[in-house]
Structure 1
Amino acid sequence: MRRAVNNPEDGQPVRGSVDKALDLLAALASGDGPHRLAELARETGIAKPTVHRMLRTMAESGFAVGTEGGAYHVGPRFLGMAAAALAGSRGNQFARPVLEELQRRTGHTVHYAVRHGNEAIYVDKVEPAQSYRMTSRVGGQIPLYCTAVGRAILARLPESERAEILGTAPLPARTEHTLTDPDAIRAALAEWDERGFLTEDRQNEPDIRCVAAPVTDGLGAVIGAISVSGLVFTLDEESIEVYGPMVRAAADEVSATLGGQGPRLSSVRS
């Protein structure tokens, strides 16, 4: 690793290429993004030509992604590494046994995802030993509006923030069942108040149905969600009525851990 060396003219440290790259990554990951070249140069104090050259290199390696308008945001490789780091965090270490117990009791795939802007990132996944293998992966990104974990997050966000995410224009359809109208999606979020969990039926993947509940931090702010997912013919409405409260209990268990109360697995196992 290159380190900053002193400038012989004024004695001030000169940042090396690694320092600049880290500063640029931090700027890319800050705020809502994407960020324009001039903004990144101003925030990092790095010359525009150097920022442009570094962004091209980062884009080639998957650490940054450029938009059609010339702006940039963090790329999938960066997010995958962040997810791997989160998987080893204190909260996830306590979450893992809760997820494993939930998977054992339901027999279905269990996901834990955290929010990143308008999307969520899977930070953990527990699958049955023998089952249909879902395409989801740790580090993978998913939309908030058409997934159960995403809706669980949306349901707990302030209305102003939720409105900014959903907008007013139709959203892209992932399957023929995807709700794309923002008002219809908002109406679907009422399920949280009515049932204490959120569902999604073939709206992200054609044959998959999911049920999820939000995970909050010590201040009560939503940071992610836990879900149970399965093929539609194995996860029917009767099963959802049974599994929904179990998912809610698991999410509450992880939330309690993040709030400093420590794991209380009894509520998931009861």
Structure 2
Amino acid sequence: MSQTVDRALSILPLLAEGPADLGQVADRLGVHKSTALRLLRTLHEHGLVYRQPDQRYRLGARLIALAQEAVENLDVREIAHPHLVELNETCGHTVHLAVYEENEVLYIDKVDSRYPVRMYSRIGKPVAITVAAVAKLLLADLPEPERRALAAKLDYPRYTSRSTPDAAAFLAELAKVREQGWATDLGGHEESINCIGAPIRGADGRVAAAMSVSAPNVVVSAEELLGLLPLVRRTADAISREYSGTTSPGHKPAP
């Protein structure tokens, strides 16, 4: 039975490459056509493959629907949380997880610092979109027309002297983040708070969420916090692998 299941499942990646006829399926599996036909009929009955009028087989709509449903039901917070806790236990600083929804970047998880000085960020609260590291990571992944349209309609509050001043500077920062694959907020929202972040990617390589480590400069300097960047990026890559179901970090999106 296990061999039958293995053979049936081997048909799916073959058809993902494009439609194939019975002979091609049999050859790829190394089985007789009658065996390949039985497997294809079973998959067809479950809607996982579809036989075209030209007698070639392709992936069925049911399989595509199942894949989409699985992606939609993935809870990035649930997957990321143990990794965020582990990172917090290692470095001691506040760790955030954020997503981009309906033109806002929202915190969906937070692990507090072990130090007495705490941050006032809250789960469910929008971030300062023009300066936050997580916001830069999420917005940098948008297609260029969307980035430009969003940048043009944002306000640019001067939280501090290091805040992003205007749309041109914001777009330049997003281009930099997109290229380097990480982001910072070094006193852009609060003079005394620094932050570094890295993206979490889905199976399609797109940024699904962003995580960050933040700390006040009375606890650690900006330079010392930047020294944690390799650890932060490794954590984000580990979450990406688990979230996307891959064995390697997600790819950078195309420009």
**TM-score grouping bracket, smaller chain normalisation:** 0.5 to 0.7
Q: Note if 1:94 corresponds to 2:89.
A: no
Distance 1:169 1:251, change over 3 A: closer
1:1-270 matched pairs, under 5 angstroms: 90-167=75-152, 171-192=156-177, 195-261=180-246
Deviation per residue, 1:92-144 (Å, 9 max, x gap): 22211110111122221000011113321111101123331111011111132
Deviation per residue, 1:52-81 (Å, 9 max, x gap): xxxxxxxxxxxxxxxxxxxxxxxxxxxxxx
Distance 1:220 1:89, change over 3 A: closer
Name the CA distance, whole Å, in 1 between partners of 2:169 and 2:182: 17
Distance 1:233 1:130, change over 3 A: closer
Distance 1:104 1:262, change over 3 A: farther
Counterpart secondary structure, 1:97: helix
Q: Is the 2:99–2:209 contact (alpha carbons within 8 Å) kept by the matching residues of 1?
A: yes
247-256 vs 191-200, greater mean Cα deviation: 191-200
Report the CA distance between 1:177 and its aligned residue: 2.6
Name the CA distance, whole Å, in 2 between partners of 1:213 and 1:205: 20
169-178 vs 239-248, greater mean Cα deviation: 169-178
Which of 1 and 2 has greater Rg? 2
Q: Is the 2:197–2:210 contact (alpha carbons within 8 Å) kept by the matching residues of 1?
A: yes
Match of 2:170, as an amino acid?
A: I
| Structure 2 residues not aligned, in runs of 5+ | 1-72, 250-255
TM-score between both structures, scaled by the size of structure 1: 0.58
Match of 2:206, as an amino acid?
A: A
Q: Is the 2:92–2:115 contact (alpha carbons within 8 Å) kept by the matching residues of 1?
A: no
TM-score between both structures, scaled by the size of structure 2: 0.62
Name the CA distance, whole Å, in 2 between partners of 1:130 and 1:240: 15
Match of 1:146, as an amino acid?
A: V
Match of 2:128, as an amino acid?
A: P
Percent pairwise identity: 34
Distance 1:156 1:194, change over 3 A: closer
Q: Which residue of 1 aligns with 2:13?
A: none
Distance 1:159 1:204, change over 3 A: same
Match of 1:197, as an amino acid?
A: W
| Structure 1 residues not aligned, in runs of 5+ | 1-87, 265-270
Q: Is the 1:167–1:182 contact (alpha carbons within 8 Å) kept by the matching residues of 2?
A: yes
Q: Is the 1:118–1:144 contact (alpha carbons within 8 Å) kept by the matching residues of 2?
A: no
Give RMSD over aligned pairs: 2.6
Match of 2:171, as an amino acid?
A: R
154-163 vs 166-175, greater mean Cα deviation: 166-175
Report the CA distance between 1:168 and its aligned residue: 6.6
Name the CA distance, whole Å, in 1 between partners of 2:75 and 2:154: 39
Q: Is the 2:185–2:194 contact (alpha carbons within 8 Å) kept by the matching residues of 1?
A: yes
Name the CA distance, whole Å, in 2 between partners of 1:105 and 1:189: 29
Name the CA distance, whole Å, in 1 between partners of 2:195 and 2:164: 15
Name the CA distance, whole Å, in 2 between partners of 1:114 and 1:262: 23
